[in-house]
Structure 1
């Protein structure tokens, strides 16, 4: 299919009165959240390219004071959720500090479509560097349009947006006064086999024998895959959407990887508080998984494993598992904005293949899974985006990312790095303070981005102290 590069609407700026129609109230739950649009440059690194497009953002000015700061939440690898405009820890900070709150959706995600489609030629405009430049242009123009003068801007983000928050402070110190980079994997890495190492360690916290049971079950599944007569059983046990067909090693790896991700996701988001985002399945925790895996009355470790998968699926409202690698590749090759992959799958994989890697392989011997090596992950880059996206190209791209941002060698100031230690992503983040104003806040027993979510009684005790510390640091830094 031919790739046609087009810019979206070219229009004049909305007036301030038209663009911002929020209801100013003291009750944050009554804030009216609407889509607003910002005319953004397509290519910030080519001065001769004057093409523009419309980028979505949200605003909550119900707490804003004339001398207060501006809080900017950075969107990530999915649609920006307006729920963050009324909930989350940053809103608590905003209430206390009189901040204006803005959330800018990441280019190529959600409704922010810079190009006609997502063909590879268009995806070259999708990068963390372009996203940071989007933030800079947005901040510069909005400061003038809203008359924000010399107000200090604080950027917030979690996971990949957490990286963007830190990198924005590093690359644009004249714009970002401070940053809170929650669960930010700032080091790009090709083979992130340590991810599954942490999954194993986190599983063992509840039941020391839990990882061994998962390993036995995973190995049994691999043995069953050796014989076609077992495919009916596997299809039934794992609630596969279609009868299992194995055409290549990629089919086997895709199935094993897909099943392992159910367990890994439970660990990554263990006991978090994402319900306000519409996320289902939060009731399935590490404790639930390991209780099932240790329950001999259910049957063999494999029987318990399939019971775990079925339990997770039920909690998420999923009817079946799509286990066809061919169908996956077909879906991911669809370049239209109406495709299923446009929800973020095609875009984010492109970024992993061209910037970050982060490939969560089963190559380590210190984890309970097998069958999805690094080669399997890199092969996906070629299968989806073309043969040019091969091992040397992906490796060089990851090296360039670390050269550009510094990896773990952060050279900046006024950045906070909260990291949940159950979360596998903390391995690629800052877990020890680098200076008095490059502050790491490791969170025992906490999951991915746990400090960002609304507080609740059931959460790990460390979160309340971490949130207080973040507020203290921001209060101190905003006085500088």
Structure 2
């Protein structure tokens, strides 16, 4: 629940704020479990049951899990400095889990071998162009994102209040000004690339 709320902490509801308000409100008691339940109710609504809720599978969720196993092994674990019980990443368990689910071998070094991710700045300076690295800094994954321009055509656009892929979603009337501005910046950059392409093309 929290991972989803944090990753997609988008306006106008801001799910993390809802969860935290439910926890801080103490409407179900002051002990830890009651406060956590308060956050759960705030996030999901007042339901008769919260255990084993139905999950709608989609090509996105299934495809993403497949990709995590076959191409994008991500060593994510929980350390000792968290409110959650420690659960360190274990590569052997990860490999066995992928074999069990999909019958495929995990390739933990494929991304860095194929894309040269050991030094993404060096690789992209030599081989990349026309890339926007867009990050909403409320997205926990932004800590591993590209947050500074690498070159004139490999640029970072970030927003303090943004969340995961928020700028890629359909525009809504409730979108805050900073989100509208972020999209305008990205469109302006892409338009400049396209204009330059046609100028270059006309010279041949």
**Counterpart pick for 2:98 among 371, 378, 381:** 381
Contact 2:19 2:40 in 1 (8 A): no
Structure 1: distance between partners of 2:61 and 2:171? 30
Q: Classify the secondary structure of the residue corresponding to 1:289.
A: helix
C-alpha displacement at 1:379, in angstroms?
4.1
Q: Which residue of 2 aligns with 1:305?
A: 36
Q: Which residue of 2 aligns with 1:442?
A: 158
Cα distance between partner residues in 2 of 1:284 and 1:373: 29
Render the CA deviation track for 1:274-326: whole Å, top value 9, x for unaligned: xxxxxxxxx462111111222245311211102222333338x8954339xxx
1:285 to 2:15 alignment: yes
TM-score (norm 2): 0.75
Partner of 1:269: 8
Q: 1:472 to 1:296 in 2, by over 3 A?
A: same
Q: Does structure 2 conserve the Cα–Cα contact (< 8 Å) formed by 1:361 and 1:374?
A: yes
What SS does the aligned partner of 1:358 have? coil
Could you say what the CA RMSD is over the residues aligned between the two structures, in angstroms?
Answer: 3.0
* SS in structure 1 of the partner of residue 163 of structure 2: coil
* Structure-2 separation of matches of 1:424 and 1:460: 21
SS at match of 1:356: coil
The unaligned stretches of length 5 or more in structure 2 are 197-204
Give CA deviations for 1:317-368 in whole Å, capped at 9, x if unaligned: 8954339xxxxxxxxxxxxxxxx76745444322211211125321x34432
Query: Paired residues, what number?
Result: 186
Q: State the match for 1:422 in structure 2.
A: 138
More strand by share: 1
1:403 pairs with one of 107, 113, 117: 113
CA–CA separation in structure 2 for the residues paired with 1:385 and 1:456: 38
Change (3 A) 1:457 1:356: same
**1:427 to partner: Cα distance:** 2.5
**TM-score if structure 1 supplies the norm length?**
0.35
How many angstroms apart in 2 are the aligned matches of 1:385 and 1:269? 27
Residue in 2 that maps onto 1:348: 64
Alpha-carbon contact 1:413-1:438 (below 8 Å) kept: yes
CA distance 1:378–1:470, shift in 2 (3 Å): same
Specify whether residues 403 and 473 from structure 1 end up closer, same or farther in structure 2 by C-alpha distance, changes over 3 A only. same
Distance in 1, matches of 2:42 and 2:76, equals: 23
Higher Cα Rg, which structure:
1
Q: Please give the residue correspondences for 1:44-443 in structure 2 after superposition, counting only pairs within 5 Å.
A: 262-272=1-11, 283=13, 285-299=15-29, 300-314=31-45, 320-322=50-52, 343-362=59-78, 364-375=79-90, 377-386=94-103, 389=105, 394=106, 397-407=107-117, 408-409=120-121, 410=124, 411-443=127-159
1:286/1:343 CA distance change after superposition, 3 Å? same
